[in-house]
Amino acid sequence: MTRIAVVGGINQDIVIHVPRIPQPGETVHHGRLGRYAGGKGANQAVAAAHAGATVSMLGAVGTDAAGDDLLRGMAADGVDTTHVARVDSAATGTALIAVDAAGTNSIAVAEGANFEIDPEAVASAVAAIQPVAVIGQREVPDQATLAAFRAAPPGLRVLNVSPVDEAGTIDLSPVDIAVVNEIEAAQLAGGNDEPPALAQAVAGHTHRGCVVTLGGAGLVAHVDGQTHVQPAFPTTVVDTTGAGDAFCGVFTASLAFGHPIEAALRWGQAAGALAAATPGAQPSMPRAEDIRRLVAYAA
């Protein structure tokens, strides 16, 4: 059994598709409203579950209707929500997302219950689950994420160093592989080198390596002493919300299945491309058969 634990944010996403993202003080009309299940942690959990892993979500939601809906949705997608806390001290996390005609987004997040997560409860849950891999991000307090990594048995610990706020303060010493975008990589590395150099610099702070995602330009990874450069899959971008989460969840699941790094990177990229072609976050997490089909088509 390939069991993965994901510790991270669980949000309701309120999305408005607009002709262009407003500038400060500007109002843009003719938007279309959508409500979706989201949160980087929940998105990555669903992505890994769709890829075929057995996934447990660790996080917190409020005792409100949004929390009820999000838990039902994750369960329907095959994610175990036993270890998701219900808190009455804060509302379920909410993200307000503007998406323009090119699929580019702008996001504001009210973390709410996500910041009420208990690191000790997270560590206990991970110890009970005994996962082969743990995924974390930065939509919950870093102490909770690090507690999950430290409580996990020997295996794979993947940290998506996002959102970027104060990224340089995160302790990467328990991390096997860091997944970052180019901005985050530069912040962690303390410089603005080319992506291969950034990947290698960040990799030096982890056990195994770093993946730098470059959007439509593909990715650069430095893992286990080797550098990998891969182009992106062609796709029609509709909404990039959740595309990076699809990559992280499927990339980690693929490694946990025992696939080589090149294959795991390619599967992750295919998942991200498919997610970017579909509106919403969790609704856009692709199924294994769709990822397999795209990888085979592009081979």
Catalytically active residues are 245
For the chain, the farthest-separated pair of C-alpha atoms sits apart, in whole angstroms, at 52
Phi/psi region, residue 184 (left: phi>0; alpha: psi -120 to 50; beta: rest), is alpha
Number of Cβ within 10 Å of residue 119's Cβ equals 19
Cα–Cα distance measured from residue 105 to residue 52, given in angstroms and rounded to the nearest whole number? 29
∠ at Cα 109 (61, 218), nearest 5°?
110
Q: Could you tell me which residues are beta bridge partners of residue 210?
A: 178, 222
Which of 262, 184, 201 has its CA nearest to residue 230?
262
State the number of CA atoms in the 13 A half-sphere of 227 facing the CB: 12
Token code pair at residue 265:
């990177």
Which of 132, 209, 139, 146 has its CA nearest to residue 174?
146
Number of Cβ within 10 Å of residue 43's Cβ equals 33
